[in-house]
Amino acid sequence: MSSSPAALPGIDGLDRRTPRVPDVVLGLLVLAGTLVKIDEQQSWTVVAPKSSVEFLIFVTAAAAFAARTFPVPALVVASVLDAVPHWLPIGGAGYHLSFMICLYMVSAYSGRRTVQVAVAVVFVVQVGLMAWVLDWRWGHLFIAVTALSVVLPTALGAATRARHAALLAMRARAEEAERSRHSEARKLLAEDRLRVARDLHDSVAHQIAVMNLNTAVASSALPDRPEDASRALLTVREAGRSVIDSISDLLRGLREESWDDLEPSYTSDELTTLVEEFRTLIPSLDVEPDLGTDARPVSAVTYLVVRECLTNAYKHGDHQAPIELALHRGAGTFSLRVSNTTREPTSDFVEGFGLRGMRERVAAAGGRLEVSCADRTFVVSAEVPEEAGAT
């Protein structure tokens, strides 16, 4: 048999052990039930206790006042004093009213096992005493009224308990929903931060790297090869325009809700142009097979992975050694492999933001990316669904 906690928290945030104004009112009602009477002139009057035993009404009033804080002890006191009028002339409605109040508090705030035992005991005692007084006439109306005086406060207490439990459950669900909303908001914020970081690295950081590299080429070629310097500066200018466009797209995506609509789209022609730009910087770049110059859509993830791999190969690779790029379009899948020789031993390799961003993009598209490094050979392999980012 399960039991509820001994102290149920109040719905208004107060512990049930905290005395309240209603408890004082209950105690005064108990006193009024015995001490306040109507005199011969049909007016209300207070009749003071005439004997020491009649002062017990103050004890039973105190039990009603403390019933919320100490329900079981208060019920014991009220039950005993409610039975005393069967033997002593201290009658008054206040005693039975205090008994009903204490029984209600037990039913509303005590454990279920305690309620069951208490209700069973007081029911037997109350009905038994009334039947004894009436010479065991079980069909008498007073016996039914006595039984009702036990059942009614018990039912009201059970209803109060159920209401409190329902409100507490609603509060718990509301708090859980609020925590879930906060957790979801933090998750969405983290995803947006990752997307901003990837876009900054893939677009802005890449174009700035291209500008830096071509500026160095232009600086070294300007005295003897002005045409190469001019082409390098033209590339710098185009890269600067791309930076401005990328920042504009990024800001628009941050301000608007249709960020997913801003996902870039590419074609085989644009991928070929990208590879040719790197071929001017890395003459040892070998591409297999020929990418072609048609306008077939190319996965945005594939385009960005190729660009990141070639950028890393230029920044960290040995330009005198071959750099191989293999890209194949299969049945609904792009497969690519980029292999290059690094200038430094791969034992010092640490995965940076670029590779981390590539992994996230490929994983989000439902693909797979693998990175391997042995001696000075660095290889990136990826498989990306053809519809990922393609339009």
Distance CA 277, CA 82 (A): 101
Q: Does pLDDT of 331 surpass 80?
A: no
* Domain boundaries, given as residue ranges, for the chain: 21-138, 264-391
20: its two tokens: 């309240």
Instruction: Please give the helix or strand (H or E) that residue 239 lies within, else none.
Output: helix 226-255
320: its two tokens: 């005198």
- pLDDT tier for residue 14 given thresholds of 50, 70 and 90: very low
What's CA 259's distance to the chain center, in Å? Answer: 24
Task: Give the pLDDT confidence score for residue 279 in this predicted structure.
Answer: 81
Burial classification of residue 107, based on how many CB atoms lie within 10 Å of its CB (0-12 exposed, 13-18 middle, 19 or more buried) = buried
State pLDDT tens for residues 177-186: 888 888 888 8
Least trusted range by pLDDT, from 142-146, 193-197, 240-244: 193-197
Least trusted range by pLDDT, from 212-216, 307-311, 325-329, 338-342: 212-216
Higher-scoring residue by pLDDT: 176, 390 = 176
State pLDDT tens for residues 20-69: 777 777 777 777 777 666 556 666 666 666 666 777 888 888 888 888 88
Task: Give the pLDDT confidence score for residue 265 in this predicted structure.
Answer: 73
Task: Give the pLDDT confidence score for residue 389 in this predicted structure.
Answer: 47
Q: What backbone phi and psi angles, to 5 degrees, belong to 83?
A: -85, -20
Task: Give the pLDDT confidence score for residue 97 in this predicted structure.
Answer: 86
- pLDDT tier for residue 6 given thresholds of 50, 70 and 90: very low
- pLDDT tier for residue 231 given thresholds of 50, 70 and 90: confident
CA–CA–CA angle 354, 334, 274 (5° rounding): 55
Q: Across all residues in the chain, what is the average pLDDT?
A: 78
Give per-residue burial for 270-298: e unless 16+ CB within 10 Å, then b.
bbbebbebbbebbebbebeeebeeeeeeb
pLDDT cut 90: percent of the chain above it? 1
Q: Identify any residues that bridge with 267 across adjacent strands, giving them in sequence order.
A: 297
Higher-scoring residue by pLDDT: 7, 276 = 276
Q: Does pLDDT of 226 surpass 60?
A: yes
Q: Does pLDDT of 262 surpass 60?
A: no
- 8: helix, coil or strand? coil
Burial classification of residue 71, based on how many CB atoms lie within 10 Å of its CB (0-12 exposed, 13-18 middle, 19 or more buried) = buried
349: its two tokens: 């390799």
Nearby residues of 252 by Cβ (< 8 Å), 6 or more positions away: 262
Distance CA 218, CA 228 (A): 7
Task: Give the pLDDT confidence score for residue 41 in this predicted structure.
Answer: 62
- pLDDT tier for residue 219 given thresholds of 50, 70 and 90: confident
Give yes or no for a contact between 91 and 111, defined as CB atoms under 8 angstroms apart: no
Most trustworthy range by pLDDT among 19-23, 204-208, 248-252, 369-373: 369-373
What's CA 157's distance to the chain center, in Å? Answer: 35
Superfamily of domain 264-391: Histidine kinase-like ATPase, C-terminal domain (3.30.565.10)
Distance CA 256, CA 264 (A): 16
- pTM for the model stands at 0.48
State pLDDT tens for residues 91-120: 677 888 888 888 988 888 888 888 889 889
Distance CA 312, CA 322 (A): 14
Q: What backbone phi and psi angles, to 5 degrees, belong to 142?
A: -60, -35
Give yes or no for a contact between 64 and 78, defined as CB atoms under 8 angstroms apart: yes
